[in-house]
Amino acid sequence: MAGGFGVSTGGGDFEAKITPLVIISCIMAASGGLMFGYDIGISGGVTSMPDFLKKFFPVVYQKQQNPGLDSNYCKYDNQGLQLFTSSLYLAALMATFVASYSTKMLGRKMTMLIAGIFFCVGTVFNAAAHNLAMLIIGRILLGCGVGFANQAIPLFLSEVAPTRIRGALNILFQLNITIGILVANLINYGTSKLTDGTGWRISLGLAGVPAFMLTVGSLIVVDTPNSLIQRGQLEAGKAVLKRIRGIDNVDPEYLEIVEASRVAAEVKNPFRNLLKRRNQPSLIIGIMMQVFQQFTGINAIMFYAPVLFQTLGFKSDASLYSAVITGLVNVLSTVVSIVIVDKAGRRMLLLEAGVQMFLSQMGVAVVMGLKVKDTTNTLGHGLGILVVILICSFVASFAWSWGPLGWLIPSETFALEARSAGQSIAVFTNMLFTFIIAQAFLSMLCKMKSGIFFFFSAWVLVMTLFTVFLIPETKNVPIEEMNDRVWKKHWFWKRFMDEWDMEAPKGHA
Ligand code: BGC
């Protein structure tokens, strides 16, 4: 049996130690986040590299070489260029549905392995690309990897983690996303200095490192007890539960998982089941969390930070530099979230961040509106720094709220019977809206100019009101007890739960 440190808590939590196995499993699984983050961060820098543009997007290259030709806001408005970034998310959203069956039938571990393999092959295509088709095929394969990884990893983490640190362990995934983005920004910074035209190839090729880590990691980890039990491997599930919890008597938790699996097994059509009244609250929240997460506008910054900073008048080098700073703020603020999410709770983080994101974005909109016009840019050094600070403040508040919680809350609020399908709808929605932002942002910037930041801040206002009234607190609630302890007690959502008592078998009501 694995040794452990840490003790159990009361309050409905099951007895569990924080065993090395839990920690290693989570680190391994979270390396998938590294891969996702690297893909997010790498495209912005690559698409501002002259050699890359010259080879694949000569029209944009021409515009870049003749700065007087276009409005400050429109230099990079090119559908093909946006497709390079966004094709990954389009592929990911389609892959999610297959991934939902694979997490259910093959388990979390196997789904992570499939993701790792997609990542490896996609990286080879990208790094070796000598035409646009290879480039896009590579991005599509990476997208399939993202669809599988983002489906399996948050589920894996939430199921393996002891309740009292579930939030923190789950956010490891997000932490790795942010580290991936930062590393990508740093690598772009380095490779953009190469003069032999290989910079973009190295940037895209280094994605092979996290891809390999995820592939190997998923061979080493054990599958979750919930997944094993759900697939009928009761003894194996119990044995794994003992190992990951570091104790001998796991019966209370084991029985609860067995019961949840029994209910889950009665589900014939998982997606139709999701529409049942009792699953609607978690479904609505799962979907809205993703829509809102993307409409904070975070990816306008994550994908296009170097381009955005160039729009603001920074030189190519200075803009990559600023992107590195926002990347660092993103990582550090995610750590803040890990430390406080299980103490302060989910709602407090979302509400505080709502206010901070709103003020920061309004600030950016006003400064840009006054100073950056179509053909003139009078931002100057001082105000330029102010914009970078405001963007950092926005990124920081996103990183301790909607960033991690967008993944955490859906992974912990669905009942087991709806968890795989629910998670896949959440990932699907996330990818769909990420795709929309990736595909539309540069055109929106060109049309709406600085007003785009007013647009995002209006969304932040809406999501903060949604949080006030409709997002329940889920900290310290065991994952299979959400119905009783969260939904049935919520002022609004409780009316969706009556049918649970009538339909669900005894012991689970
Ligand atoms: C989001 C990504 C975003 C990243 C930024 C993630 O939670 O899903 O779309 O780029 O956070 O750190």
pLDDT tens for the chain, 509 residues: list them.
233 333 333 334 677 777 887 887 777 777 888 999 999 889 888 888 889 999 998 988 887 777 666 677 777 777 788 888 889 999 999 998 899 889 989 999 999 999 999 999 999 999 999 999 999 999 999 999 999 998 898 888 888 888 888 878 888 888 999 999 999 999 998 998 888 989 999 999 999 999 999 999 899 888 999 999 989 999 999 999 998 888 888 898 899 888 888 887 887 888 888 999 989 999 999 999 999 999 999 988 887 777 777 777 777 677 777 788 899 999 999 999 999 998 999 999 999 999 999 999 999 999 888 877 777 777 777 888 888 899 999 999 999 999 999 988 998 898 888 888 898 899 899 999 998 988 888 888 888 888 889 999 999 999 999 999 999 999 989 888 888 889 999 999 999 987 655 555 444 43
Q: Is 104 exposed, middle or buried (0-12, 13-18, 19+ CB in 10 A)?
A: buried
Residue 407 CA to ligand 1 centre (angstroms)? 9
Measure the CA–CA gap between 150 and 173, rounded to whole angstroms.
9
**CA distances, 85 to each of 37, 268, 367, 399 (Å):** 13, 37, 28, 22
Measure the CA–CA gap between 176 and 143, rounded to whole angstroms.
17
Residue 108 CA to ligand 1 centre (angstroms)? 22
- φ, ψ of residue 18 to 5 degrees: the values are -90, 95
30: tokens are 């979270």
408: tokens are 């955490």
Residue with CA closest to ligand 1 atom 7: 403
Residue 168 CA to ligand 1 centre (angstroms)? 17
C-alpha neighbours within 13 Å on the C-beta side of residue 378: 5
Measure the CA–CA gap between 164 and 25, rounded to whole angstroms.
17
Name the H helices within 246-315.
251-265, 270-274, 280-295, 298-311
In the prediction, which pLDDT does 68 show?
Answer: 65
Residue with CA closest to ligand 1 atom 6: 403
177: tokens are 């996303």
Task: Report the residue among 298, 337, 428 best suited for mutation to probe ligand 1: largest number of ligand atoms under 8 A from its CB.
Answer: 298
In the prediction, which pLDDT does 262 show?
Answer: 84
Residue with CA closest to ligand 1 atom 3: 299
In the prediction, which pLDDT does 138 show?
Answer: 96
In the prediction, which pLDDT does 318 show?
Answer: 74
Count other C-beta atoms under 10 Å from residue 381's C-beta.
7
**Which amino acids bring their CB within 6 angstroms of ligand 1?**
40, 174, 177-178, 181, 293, 298-299, 302, 330, 403, 406-407, 430, 434
372 pairs with which residues across the strands? 377
Q: Do 14 and 162 meet the contact criterion of CB atoms below 8 Å apart?
A: yes
Q: Is 506 exposed, middle or buried (0-12, 13-18, 19+ CB in 10 A)?
A: exposed
Name which of 21, 28, 25, 27 is nearest 2 in CA terms.
21
Residue 56 CA to ligand 1 centre (angstroms)? 27
Length of the chain: 509
For ligand 1, what atom is nearest to the CA of residue 40? 10
In three-state secondary structure terms, 49 is coil
Q: Do 366 and 387 meet the contact criterion of CB atoms below 8 Å apart?
A: no
319: tokens are 């803009």
Residue 87 CA to ligand 1 centre (angstroms)? 16
Q: Do 363 and 391 meet the contact criterion of CB atoms below 8 Å apart?
A: no
In the prediction, which pLDDT does 505 show?
Answer: 46
In the prediction, which pLDDT does 13 show?
Answer: 63
In the prediction, which pLDDT does 202 show?
Answer: 96
Name which of 436, 408, 367 is nearest 161 in CA terms.
408
427: tokens are 């990932």
In the prediction, which pLDDT does 173 show?
Answer: 84
Task: Report the residue among 299, 349, 402, 411 best suited for mutation to probe ligand 1: largest number of ligand atoms under 8 A from its CB.
Answer: 299
In the prediction, which pLDDT does 499 show?
Answer: 63
Task: Report the residue among 85, 177, 433 best suited for mutation to probe ligand 1: largest number of ligand atoms under 8 A from its CB.
Answer: 177
For ligand 1, what atom is nearest to the CA of residue 430? 8
Measure the CA–CA gap between 61 and 53, rounded to whole angstroms.
5
- φ, ψ of residue 5 to 5 degrees: the values are -130, 155
In the prediction, which pLDDT does 155 show?
Answer: 85
